[in-house]
Amino acid sequence: MNVKLSYKKCSVVCLVLLMIISAGMIYFTKDIRAQFGQLFINGPKFYPILLSSIMLLSCLASIFHTLKKEDKIIEFPNFHKPVVVSVILLVWVVAWQACARVIVTNTYFYPISALGVGALLLYLNPEPWSVKKLAKSALIDAAVIVPLYLLFAVGLRMRL
């Protein structure tokens, strides 16, 4: 299904959504508490706020740049794919947050993330459904989640 969209409108809407996400990241990371004796620059909230601020300013500059360009109609094939990916990501985050509220230790981050990454891999892989596709997706999923688990949960002893 091909959808025809205005380049300017589509770009501005996407950039505004990114700005909302950036502002949300700044809002949620501003409450991270620093340990005693840490300055803002070497505290845990400095880099998330810095990166979110850079993204916010870049989006704002890109909006002004886009508005100066001539508008054209673009075809957007497979319009449903970004919508389905967004729904998968939303379900992933909601499931993680629901488990974090119900279970205090939040040990379900890695299994939920494995399911989320696996769902994305299966959906975005254009191959027809087969055992090979499932095995390949499971292998890539493990190659992504296991190193994260080993680094953060085992190596750094961080609870996510």
Half-sphere exposure of 98 (CA within 13 A, CB side): 7
Q: Which residue has the higher pLDDT, 99 or 132?
A: 132
Please, which pLDDT band fits residue 78 given cuts at 50, 70 and 90?
confident
Same domain, 32 and 65: yes
The pLDDT value given to residue 139 = 95
Which of residues 58, 77, 96 is at a domain's end?
77
Q: Is the pLDDT of residue 19 over 80?
A: yes
Same domain, 39 and 58: yes
What are the pLDDT digits (tens) for 41-54? 556 677 888 899 99
Q: Is the pLDDT of residue 33 over 90?
A: no
Which of residues 16, 42, 77 is at a domain's end?
77
Same domain, 83 and 160: yes
Same domain, 17 and 85: no
What's the angle, vertex CA 96, arms to CA 134 and CA 105, rounded to 5? Answer: 115
Which of residues 36, 58, 77 is at a domain's end?
77
Same domain, 49 and 95: no
20-29, 47-56, 148-157: least confident range: 148-157
What are the pLDDT digits (tens) for 100-127? 776 655 568 888 889 999 999 999 999 9
Please, which pLDDT band fits residue 36 given cuts at 50, 70 and 90?
low
Same domain, 125 and 151: yes
- What phi and psi, each to the nearest 5 degrees, are found at residue 2? -95, 135
Same domain, 83 and 147: yes
The pLDDT value given to residue 42 = 58
What residues contact 19, with CB distance under 8 A and at least 6 apart?
56, 59, 60
Residues of the domain holding 114:
79-160
The pLDDT value given to residue 10 = 86
Q: Is the pLDDT of residue 38 over 60?
A: no
Please tell me the total count of domains within the chain: 2
Q: Which residue has the higher pLDDT, 42 or 84?
A: 84
Same domain, 72 and 1: yes
Q: Is the pLDDT of residue 72 over 70?
A: yes
d(CA 154, CA 117): 20
